[in-house]
Amino acid sequence: MPSDHAALMAIGEAVTVRPGSKLFRQGDTGTHIYMVESGVVRISHDLPDGKRQVLAFRWAHDVFGMAPDGWYFNNADALDKGRIVRFHTEKLQGLLLARPHMQHRFLLKATAEISLQQHRIILMSKYDVVTKVVAFLLECCRKDQYFDSVTRILTLPMSRPDIADYMGVATESVSRALGVLERRKVIHRHDMHHLAIDLPRLRECARL
């Protein structure tokens, strides 16, 4: 019998994506569940007033695209070149029924995601913009694909408006917060997408 991972990959379809590739739109029929192998995916929701709320960024090994009501509640867009594996919902359900122990793993992953979202809600509603940016940068620094621990360079595939919409603040507020951190010598901005990070100082900021 093939391993759980081999069985999962056997029913999946690997897709190479580029920046701007749309995986699904809000309101589309929910036919697939997705897993990130590499790259970053932005999950967003279009609000009735025409504004957009960025709900999450999905990194390597993250699963997204659950559609319990049969349609996608959010949008999913690739922000960087990467590889996504998509699983047809019916095939995935069949595999989980055939291998009940895998259901527990999916449940643990879903529970961990709920916990992270609860933490994010508290962070984004209670703290100032600088603290929010510090927490976001720390999260990004945990992603090996985007943070080089030798050069200390963090590559951000998302734009400033993406980050602002994720935090629920103005784009200018994010830029000002980055300026504060740069004056404190916590970061150094090489360009819009590359930051040199003093990780010990960044962690110290998170404890203030």
The answer to whether residues 57 and 41 touch, using CB atoms and an 8 Å cutoff, is: yes
Question: What is the domain count for the chain?
Answer: 2
Q: Are residues 118 and 166 in the same domain?
A: no
- CA 111, CA 63: separation in Å to the nearest integer? 12
Q: What is the pLDDT along the chain (208 residues), one digit of tens a residue?
A: 779 888 888 999 999 999 999 999 999 999 999 999 999 999 999 999 989 999 999 999 999 998 989 999 999 999 999 999 999 999 988 988 898 888 878 777 777 777 777 777 776 666 899 999 999 999 999 999 999 999 999 999 999 999 999 998 999 999 999 999 999 999 999 999 999 999 999 999 987 5
What is the predicted pLDDT for the residue at 123? 67
What is the predicted pLDDT for the residue at 133? 95
We report the CATH number of the domain holding residue 160 as 1.10.10.10
Q: Are residues 136 and 46 in the same domain?
A: no
The answer to whether residues 60 and 36 touch, using CB atoms and an 8 Å cutoff, is: yes
Q: Are residues 112 and 163 in the same domain?
A: no
Q: Are residues 26 and 62 in the same domain?
A: yes
Q: Are residues 148 and 95 in the same domain?
A: no
Residue 100: count of CB within 10 angstroms of its CB: 8
**Cβ contacts of residue 135 below 8 Å, gap of 6+?**
123, 127, 206
Matching residue, tokens 């507020």? 173
Q: Are residues 136 and 55 in the same domain?
A: no
What is the predicted pLDDT for the residue at 110? 72
Q: Are residues 68 and 132 in the same domain?
A: no
Q: Are residues 147 and 53 in the same domain?
A: no
What is the predicted pLDDT for the residue at 126? 65
- CA 37, CA 3: separation in Å to the nearest integer? 18
Domain encompassing residue 54: 4-123
Domain endpoint, select from 90, 123, 156: 123
- CA 186, CA 202: separation in Å to the nearest integer? 6
